[in-house]
């Protein structure tokens, strides 16, 4: 039976980027730990061990459904978004390439670069020679909440999570390891409020937002959504995981009268397609808060 080599490569890459292929679910003690005194001590011990090239690891059973849905956190992986969200990203990429939807691909909030790696790889195997993949991130973690400007973010502690701060060198190294670091991957280092509005991007076919906060999500939408082409896709990674993220999406859609149907991906992430204006049915009612599951 003949199998499409492009699909074989895509599936293999998804398995590698998520570590699903290796059924790796080890927990590195002190990493991705709650912000408690006990776990802060564990983090100090872990860092001390690392200076000696040692790690304290606890073996955990691998759960395929959790990895598929991105509900666990593979600590050695390049991405934590899970297989279903990568499947969704693949479908979006294939669609914009097949239908020649104009514009580049962008991820805002790239962590270790796994989704960026996947986007660049898919463009390569699909024979797309023109689009750029943009990687937007502070490369030093998340910002402290500006509670006066964005009260929804009050009490947010993402900025305290050291494991979310992945520097640009590490992201580039990961791309290089997969043979995908070239001039068609471009980086926008800095806070979204400082970089996205002035980014030299004319059009986007896919805008993938993994922003974790109200502020970062609304700033990304404000700067990027007007550049999304008709027929392009907006993907929001943490819509059901972070209440502030969902609120930012709904606020932006309400403010801009966006009625395109929000579609559930895996119970965590969602996406919608920017309907071509000439065929938009303005009489079908608001889809601001409905999610098609």
User: pLDDT tens digits for the chain (293 residues)?
Assistant: 678 999 999 999 999 999 999 998 887 766 565 556 666 666 677 777 767 777 777 788 899 999 999 989 888 899 999 999 999 999 999 999 999 999 999 999 999 999 999 999 999 999 999 999 999 999 999 999 988 899 898 888 888 888 899 999 999 999 999 999 999 999 999 999 999 999 999 999 999 999 999 999 999 999 999 999 999 999 999 999 999 999 999 999 999 999 999 999 999 999 999 987 654 554 444 445 567 77
Q: Is the CB of residue 206 less than 8 Å from the CB of residue 131?
A: no
> Is the model's pTM score more than 0.85?
yes
Residue 35: per-residue pLDDT: 58
Distances (CA, A) of 35 to 42, 54, 78, 152: 11, 23, 23, 21
Residues with Cβ < 8 Å from 5, sequence gap 6 or more? none
Structure letter (DSSP) for residue 153: G
Domains annotated on the chain, with CATH: 26-59 (no CATH), 82-292 (3.40.50.150)
Distances (CA, A) of 206 to 92, 148, 227: 8, 31, 10
């Amino acid at each position: 039976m003949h199998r499409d080599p492009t699909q074989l490569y895509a599936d293999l890459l998804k398995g590698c980027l998520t570590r699903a292929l290796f059924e790796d679910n080890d927990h590195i003690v002190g990493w991705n730990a709650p912000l408690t005194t006990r776990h802060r001590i564990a983090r100090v011990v872990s860092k001390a061990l690392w200076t000696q090239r040692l790690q304290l690891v606890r073996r955990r059973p691998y759960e395929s459904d959790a990895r598929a849905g991105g509900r666990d956190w593979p600590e050695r992986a390049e991405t934590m978004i899970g297989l279903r969200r990568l499947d969704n990203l693949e479908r979006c990429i294939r669609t914009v390439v097949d239908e020649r939807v104009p514009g580049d691909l962008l991820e805002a909030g790239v962590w270790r670069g796994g989704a960026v790696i996947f986007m660049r790889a898919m463009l390569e195997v699909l024979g797309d020679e023109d689009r750029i993949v943009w990687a937007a991130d502070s490369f030093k973690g998340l910002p402290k909440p500006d509670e006066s400007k964005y009260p929804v973010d009050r009490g947010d502690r993402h900025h305290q999570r050291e494991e979310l701060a992945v520097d640009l060198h590490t992201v580039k190294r990961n791309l290089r390891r997969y043979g995908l670091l070239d001039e068609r991957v471009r980086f926008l280092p800095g806070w979204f409020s400082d970089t996205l509005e002035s980014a030299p991007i004319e059009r986007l076919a896919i805008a993938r937002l993994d922003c974790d906060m109200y502020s970062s999500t609304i700033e990304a939408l404000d700067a990027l959504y007007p550049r999304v082409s008709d027929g392009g896709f907006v993907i929001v990674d943490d819509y059901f995981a972070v209440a502030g993220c969902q609120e930012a999406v709904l606020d932006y859609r309400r403010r801009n009268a966006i009625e395109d149907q929000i579609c559930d991906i895996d119970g965590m992430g969602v996406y919608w397609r920017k309907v071509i204006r000439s065929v938009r049915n303005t009489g079908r009612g608001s889809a601001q808060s409905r999610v098609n599951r």
